Structure 1
Amino acid sequence: MALYGAVALAALALLAWALAPRPVEVEAARVERGHFEYAIEEDGRTRLRDRYVVAAPVAAHLSRMTLREGDRVQAGDTVAVLTPVMSSLFDERSLREATARARAAQAAVAGAQARLERARLTQDEAGLDFHRTETLARDGFVAPSRLDSARLALDASRRERQAAQAALEMAVHEREQAQASVLPANPGTAAGRPLAVRAPVSGVVLRVPLPSENTVASGAPLLDIGDPSQMEVVAELLTTDAVQATPGTRASIERWGGPPVQGQVRRVEPAAFTKISALGIEEQRVKVLIDITSPPAQWLALGDGFRVTVRVITISTDDAVMVPVGALFPHGSGEMAVYVLDANTARVRPVRITARNSNMGWVREGLTPGERVIVYPPPGVTDGRRVSVLMP
């Protein structure tokens, strides 16, 4: 009888073991403290900040172009040669039109000089304001942010003065071109004298629409010139994201064929536009202009019109408690929770999330570094359920 009892007990124990719930196999990860970033990611394209289109000042015969895309030119270099078309260059009406253009070019030079003088005064005013703010900030009377704003205003005024100087140089060259167009009407000038079209600025030839010999009309584009070192990126962000991309926000330009380069938001255009997405949904977007701040040596291969991926970094901290987003799941009304490993048991723990990106979540409350959480918990995991952690 004792033997039968022992066998029965063994059978019951074996049956209980067979029917007992097995631990659920799960994957686990540790809660870490480190660097966290949240960024708005969108496609963008590069473009030159200043693009100059050199056009024919008069209707004439264009000689074959010797320049090709990628050639470098200096300000004042001859980029095209025009020879007169008699029916257009030497009649009375054409002479009057050319004279009027020369006078307009002279007026444009005067206007450019006035804008340069205004830019110089603006720079002087920004410099005085910066020095005053620097003195007040040193004595603790103004906040450091006020000093940063004054420094940015001074840098902006310098840029505006450089742009005004370039505009003046361009206006001077255009005046020379306009004045040169009336030279054939001068009795002391031989008929049929070629007209040299000169580059208004130094840069690289971007486009040559008419490489062969041709007859061109007045105002026809001959070539485009730009400075590749003055590159910017244009991204079309959703209006709900653009409000976070304030001027001065750090950005990263990636997926252009080279290593990521750094940038900074310069301007968010004030007017939005409607764009139809690939799913047929109407979206309100706005253009955001980003300056490339990395040294040009890091992005020399980046050209005009290249497609890039822009990451506008709105949140960045080096002291964040982070958990993989795969460990988070909804819990309660609008809250999040994770399964924390307590030995071999899963425990539900509510957490408060400050922000999260595609990989990690920034935990404000609920977890401490070093704890282990279940990543992508299977449906069988519940509070208090025994689990078995899979080895990586």
Structure 2
Amino acid sequence: MMMAAGTRVAGKWLFWSVLGVLTILVLIHVLRPEPVWVDLATAQRGPMEVTIVEEGKTRVKDRYVVSSPVAGYLHRVTLDVGDPVMPGELLAEVDPMPANMLDTRSRAEAEARVESARSALNAARQRTQAARADAELAAAEHERMATLERSGYVSRELLQQAQATAARSRAILKSARFDEEVASHELAAARTRLEVSAARSEGQGPAEYLAVRSPVNGSVLSILRKSEGVVQAGDAILELGDPSALEVVVDVLSFDAVNLEPGIATRLSGWGGTTLDAVIRRVEPVGFEDISALGVEEQRVRVIADMITPRDRWEMLGDGYRVDAAFILWQSADVLQIPASAIFQHNDQPTVFLVTEDRAVLQTVVTGQSNGLVTVVNGGLTEGDQVVRHPDRELSHNDRIRVR
């Protein structure tokens, strides 16, 4: 009887003990917080670059507006846009109106204009000689750098800088030659006006027509006056330029322009062909106000870049074409990186939630360059570590997580 009573008492204690343990387990399961749903990202190594990307357009470097040298009757222009022209080629014909005889003062002014044009031509010739010397020096320096680079004495970057300098020097020389040609034709125009007036004063009749000729080697960019009719002296007729000498004009936000300087490498894309290489030649020191597509007033700065890719790769690119310009501020071929959205400030230090055994653990990291999408990690993580991509306010240190 006593053994049976003891067995019943032990059975009751065992029943109530098991029931209490089960109750505690149920309460723990019910009361413990649910795992937080998160997205994960993996720290991995790879190439990265920091760029400023803006939309730009191509532009012929040297443009020349050909105008009527005298008042008269313009014959119809037979050229079309894109037609090539050579120096001295006939562009248009103008029947001059009878020239008035010059008085003493007007003749002196005309002679002074001839002398001024002659001085401008001499100055242009001197600039051409200086540009030619600079181009020869830059070409020699490029050859020397190429030899040293093949021997391993200089870096590839120095060779590219020498190549860009040589390209700029050639472009400056070509521009100086154009200026010399223009100055030569301006002198001829001044002489013509003086000679025609002199012939008029001597009783000679005017020429049948006055030929308007091309001052440069290039192509017709636009026709400002196609139809025949009366024109005044100085009225624009044609616009000429060399389509093989293009530059890229990009309007950059002033906030970004302070990070740009001449010599920064630029990548051009979005024009319908292969990616092209360019280099910044000038960042204009004056900004201007522009209205964005959303109606927001913006301060922008004009940046000019020269293409260094060979002409045969962009021969279909013309004046006024749209391009996407990416200015490369920093780049590396192999760095550890994670999404920029995974990093936040905790105790004034960059921190991430590192995933350890299905839990999110606060981890301080050392960050480097960032392009807004990904950020370089210089310390605190290793390749293959997983972090929470978009941590929210509900996530705390050592919380359980569940991957979406």
Return closer, same or farther for 1:142/1:288 CA change in 2, 3 Å cut-off: same
Give the equivalent residue in structure 1 for 2:328.
Answer: 313
What is the rounded CA distance, in whole Å, between the counterparts of 2:331 and 2:236 in structure 1? 46
Equivalences for 1:139-288 in 2 at 5 Å? Answer: 156-181=168-193, 184-185=196-197, 186=199, 191-239=206-254, 241-256=256-271, 260-269=275-284, 271-273=285-287, 275=289, 283=299, 285-288=300-303
Give the equivalent residue in structure 2 for 1:376.
Answer: 390
**Which residue of 79, 93, 114 corresponds with 2:126?**
114
Return closer, same or farther for 1:277/1:347 CA change in 2, 3 Å cut-off: farther
CA positional deviation for 1:151: 6.9
Q: Is the 8 A contact 2:164 2:308 kept in 1?
A: no
Structure 2: which amino acid aligns with 1:347? V
Q: Secondary structure at the match of 1:272?
A: strand
Return closer, same or farther for 1:258/1:65 CA change in 2, 3 Å cut-off: same
Equivalences for 1:16-27 in 2 at 5 Å? Answer: 16-27=28-39
Q: Is the 8 A contact 1:203 1:227 kept in 2?
A: yes
Return closer, same or farther for 1:237/1:24 CA change in 2, 3 Å cut-off: same
Give the equivalent residue in structure 2 for 1:67.
Answer: 79
Give the equivalent residue in structure 1 for 2:94.
Answer: 82
Give the equivalent residue in structure 2 for 1:365.
Answer: 379
Q: Secondary structure at the match of 1:386?
A: strand
Return closer, same or farther for 1:65/1:293 CA change in 2, 3 Å cut-off: same
Structure 2 stretches of 5 or more lacking a match? Answer: 1-11
Return closer, same or farther for 1:313/1:75 CA change in 2, 3 Å cut-off: same
Structure 1: which amino acid aligns with 2:375? G
CA positional deviation for 1:49: 1.0
Equivalences for 1:18-57 in 2 at 5 Å? Answer: 18-57=30-69
Greater CA deviation, 212-221 or 102-111?
102-111
Structure 2: which amino acid aligns with 1:65? V
CA positional deviation for 1:184: 4.4
CA positional deviation for 1:36: 1.0
Return closer, same or farther for 1:275/1:61 CA change in 2, 3 Å cut-off: same
Q: Is the 8 A contact 2:253 2:298 kept in 1?
A: no
Return closer, same or farther for 1:160/1:47 CA change in 2, 3 Å cut-off: closer
1:58-84 CA deviation, whole Å, 9 max, x = no partner?
Answer: 122111122233333222221111111
Question: What is the TM-score with the length of structure 2 in the denominator?
Answer: 0.80
What is the rounded CA distance, in whole Å, between the counterparts of 1:23 and 1:135 in structure 2? 63
Greater CA deviation, 290-299 or 45-54?
290-299
Q: Secondary structure at the match of 2:353?
A: strand
1:181-220 CA deviation, whole Å, 9 max, x = no partner?
Answer: 4564547975341111111112222222211112222122
Structure 2: which amino acid aligns with 1:213? E
Give the equivalent residue in structure 2 for 1:324.
Answer: 339
What is the rounded CA distance, in whole Å, between the counterparts of 2:372 and 2:351 in structure 1? 17
CA positional deviation for 1:7: 6.1
Q: Secondary structure at the match of 2:399?
A: coil
Give the equivalent residue in structure 1 for 2:351.
Answer: 337
Q: Is the 8 A contact 1:57 1:177 kept in 2?
A: yes
Return closer, same or farther for 1:65/1:148 CA change in 2, 3 Å cut-off: closer
Return closer, same or farther for 1:129/1:203 CA change in 2, 3 Å cut-off: closer
**Which residue of 76, 91, 108 corresponds with 2:101?**
91
Q: Secondary structure at the match of 1:114?
A: helix
What is the rounded CA distance, in whole Å, between the counterparts of 1:332 and 1:173 in structure 2? 72
Give the equivalent residue in structure 1 for 2:4.
Answer: none
CA positional deviation for 1:299: 4.0
CA positional deviation for 1:360: 0.6
What is the rounded CA distance, in whole Å, between the counterparts of 1:208 and 1:138 in structure 2? 49
Q: Is the 8 A contact 1:48 1:304 kept in 2?
A: yes
Q: Secondary structure at the match of 2:39?
A: strand
Return closer, same or farther for 1:298/1:62 CA change in 2, 3 Å cut-off: same
Q: Is the 8 A contact 1:239 1:272 kept in 2?
A: no
What is the rounded CA distance, in whole Å, between the counterparts of 1:316 and 1:141 in structure 2? 23
CA positional deviation for 1:11: 5.4
Return closer, same or farther for 1:59/1:100 CA change in 2, 3 Å cut-off: farther
What is the rounded CA distance, in whole Å, between the counterparts of 2:126 and 2:65 in structure 1? 23
Aligned alpha-carbon RMSD (Å): 3.7
CA positional deviation for 1:31: 0.7
Q: Is the 8 A contact 2:72 2:94 kept in 1?
A: yes
**Which residue of 372, 382, 385 corresponds with 2:399?**
385
Return closer, same or farther for 1:199/1:189 CA change in 2, 3 Å cut-off: farther
Q: Is the 8 A contact 1:90 1:184 kept in 2?
A: no
What is the rounded CA distance, in whole Å, between the counterparts of 1:378 and 1:148 in structure 2? 46
Return closer, same or farther for 1:46/1:140 CA change in 2, 3 Å cut-off: closer
Q: Secondary structure at the match of 2:280?
A: strand
Structure number, greater radius of gyration: 2
Question: What is the TM-score with the length of structure 1 in the denominator?
Answer: 0.82
Q: Is the 8 A contact 1:177 1:197 kept in 2?
A: no
Return closer, same or farther for 1:3/1:149 CA change in 2, 3 Å cut-off: closer
Q: Is the 8 A contact 2:269 2:323 kept in 1?
A: yes
Structure 2: which amino acid aligns with 1:214? G
Q: Secondary structure at the match of 1:66?
A: coil
Return closer, same or farther for 1:140/1:189 CA change in 2, 3 Å cut-off: farther
